[in-house]
Amino acid sequence: MVQKNRLKRSDFIFIESGDAFQPFQYSVGMEGSRFFAELRDHKKFWGLRCPSCRKVYVPPRKICGPCFKTMEEWVEVGPMGTLSAFTILRFPFIDPETGEKKPVPYGYAFILLDGASTQFQHFLKIDPDWPPAIGVRVKPVFAENRQGKLSDILHFEAA
């Protein structure tokens, strides 16, 4: 007998991927390593300046893309900056480092550090007495125990 090629909705099977995961060891490279070491050891921000267009990249990288030039001139920038864009998030994400949910609401921001040409991204502290706005001044708050990664900065807040 020919069976009809038809299933009830409840008959469809799904296969879960389970707890399998793909671990990675991302190289930070020469420029990124120095950037994070300065954050960790001196709470300082350093960028690289393009010899051609003079743009200052923070975090630093080897190449200025538009000029296709390698960069070697280190420039200290910040720690103060100006808020260029922000959002207040009402849904959580799972912090990949801790596996815990980031409490909501939290702020996320693009910050133009003084002396930098590129936007630095980080969390923005939410403070009922300080409604954020594009163009306001902000400063970083550092973690006590710094390890040479982005979470060495807790967030930015009103300067």
User: Applying CB under 8 A, which residues contact other proteins?
Assistant: 15, 17, 20, 22-30, 32, 61-68, 70
Cβ of residue 2: shortest distance to other proteins, in angstroms? 25
d(CA 48, CA 34): 11
Cβ of residue 69: shortest distance to other proteins, in angstroms? 10
d(CA 149, CA 145): 11
Nearest to 115 by CA among 80, 84, 85: 80
Cβ of residue 102: shortest distance to other proteins, in angstroms? 20
Identity of the residue, 68 or 91, whose beta carbon is nearer to other proteins in the bound complex: 68
Cβ of residue 62: shortest distance to other proteins, in angstroms? 6
Identity of the residue, 69 or 125, whose beta carbon is nearer to other proteins in the bound complex: 69
Alpha-carbon distances of 26 from 32, 36, 43, 105, 116, rounded to whole Å: 11, 14, 23, 30, 25
C-alpha of 84 from chain center: 15
Q: What is the DSSP letter of 150?
A: G
Identity of the residue, 56 or 138, whose beta carbon is nearer to other proteins in the bound complex: 56
Identity of the residue, 63 or 158, whose beta carbon is nearer to other proteins in the bound complex: 63
Nearest to 79 by CA among 131, 137, 148: 137
Cβ of residue 153: shortest distance to other proteins, in angstroms? 21
Identity of the residue, 66 or 105, whose beta carbon is nearer to other proteins in the bound complex: 66
Q: What is the DSSP letter of 148?
A: S
